[in-house]
Amino acid sequence: MKFVDEYRDRTRVQSVQRELASLVEPGRTVRVMEVCGGHTHAIYKHGLGELVPPELDFLHGPGCPVCVIPMGRVDDAIALAHQPDVIFTTFGDMMRVPGGKRSLLDAKAAGADVRMVYSPLDALAIAREEPERHVVFFGVGFETTAPATALTLLRARTLGVPNFSVFCNHVTIEPPLRTILEAPDSQVDAFIAPGHVSTIVGTRPYEFIAGQYGKPVVVAAFEPVDILQSAAMILRQLREGRAAVENQYTRVVRRNGNPTALAALAATMELRDTFEWRGLGWIERSGLKLRSAFAEWDAEERFTLPGRRIADPKACSCGKVLVGAAKPWECKVFGTACTPERPLGTCMVSSEGACAAYYAYGRRS
């Protein structure tokens, strides 16, 4: 399959493996954080951890949009789903994410009309087909998914669809990276920056990491050859004593991103003063809300939500895992009280979470 096979080619992988071996300094560990859950998933799915030299250590970052939604917001979503005449629409991977007690899957089993969609436009289509009911779309994700929500809002306004709203939980990529860099126990030497987010935002938002913190950043695609090549680009920067933002995903990502998508985002959404992240706590100017011009389509304006804050479970070490200060298996509830079937902490809730990926693909005696 074009655009897949060539990036899973064993000969190419072996050639990058040799390059990596030549770039590490024996005995000196380099800790590279892949920010995006898609990268974490790919690293485990393809077994890349054992293909790199022991001196190269992958740390798994906070870029799983499903994992970082706080439990209180999931409870708000469940409350919305239980409103009379509401059809609550969501991406499939939010269905199993637990709130304080229950998930949307449980809400569906209890009678709420919860439907899985693949795009917010599908949710808008449901609203037009069922004008007597109100359709809420659960907007989650970084700048990757936020533009689709933005375009849907613009279309809802153009078409004048009154029975549609968005429960906006979109977040932005830059603030959590700053939080990780400022964390006292953070051990990150360099970043593999998220490929899909960067197709929208470009490579410029990462320039502060190289400029202010002196750490290399490489924007990477998601196939094995891509991830290993990015690691080699990072090692080369470190060896040459440089810190820059480089782009491995040149087949898609441009420095200025996607101006059309960014314009749609700017037209419909603005930064909240602060937003809570599971595992990372409150981060200033990190979450997006709908602009007041779109209040008519804002579920938070149209409905009264419980808005209760629920603290992360004390037993889990998600906060440490998310900043790269601990590995999944070092958490004392990993695989016992916290499993993909019954997740306690943020990193276990989606298949892209570090703990879930390790549990599903990495576990061996």
Residues forming contacts to another protein in the complex (CB under 8 A) are 1, 4, 8-10, 13-14, 44-51, 92, 95-96, 105-106, 108-110, 118, 122, 224-225, 339-342, 359-365
In the complex with another protein, the residue whose CB is nearer, 210 or 354, is: 354
Q: What are phi and psi of 30, to 5 degrees?
A: -110, 125
Question: Nearest distance from residue 336's CB to another protein, in Å?
Answer: 11
Helix (H, G, I), strand (E, B) or coil at 351: coil
Question: Nearest distance from residue 167's CB to another protein, in Å?
Answer: 21
No. of helices (H) and no. of strands (E), the chain: 14, 13
Question: Nearest distance from residue 309's CB to another protein, in Å?
Answer: 24
Question: Nearest distance from residue 339's CB to another protein, in Å?
Answer: 8
In the complex with another protein, the residue whose CB is nearer, 16 or 210, is: 16
In the complex with another protein, the residue whose CB is nearer, 216 or 224, is: 224
Question: Nearest distance from residue 245's CB to another protein, in Å?
Answer: 27
Question: Nearest distance from residue 271's CB to another protein, in Å?
Answer: 29
What's the rounded Cα separation, in Å, for the pair 156 and 124?
7
Specify the pairing of strand 30-36 against strand 56-63: parallel
What's the rounded Cα separation, in Å, for the pair 146 and 283?
18
Q: How far, in Å, are 22, 29, 189, 218, 245 from residue 238 at the CA level?
A: 13, 12, 9, 12, 12
On the CB side of 281, CA atoms within 13 Å amount to 6
Please say whether the dihedral angle defined by the alpha carbons of residues 72, 295, 92 and 257, taken in this order, is positive or negative: negative
In the complex with another protein, the residue whose CB is nearer, 91 or 294, is: 91
In the complex with another protein, the residue whose CB is nearer, 92 or 162, is: 92
Separation of first and last alpha carbons in the chain: 35
In the complex with another protein, the residue whose CB is nearer, 106 or 207, is: 106
Residue 87 near residue 133 (C-beta atoms within 8 A): yes
In the complex with another protein, the residue whose CB is nearer, 84 or 118, is: 118
What's the rounded Cα separation, in Å, for the pair 49 and 54?
9
Question: Nearest distance from residue 183's CB to another protein, in Å?
Answer: 29
In the complex with another protein, the residue whose CB is nearer, 66 or 234, is: 66
Give every CB contact of residue 291 below 8 A, 6+ residues apart in sequence.
267, 268, 269, 270
Residue 277 near residue 70 (C-beta atoms within 8 A): yes
Question: Nearest distance from residue 293's CB to another protein, in Å?
Answer: 31
Residue 116's DSSP bridge partners are 90
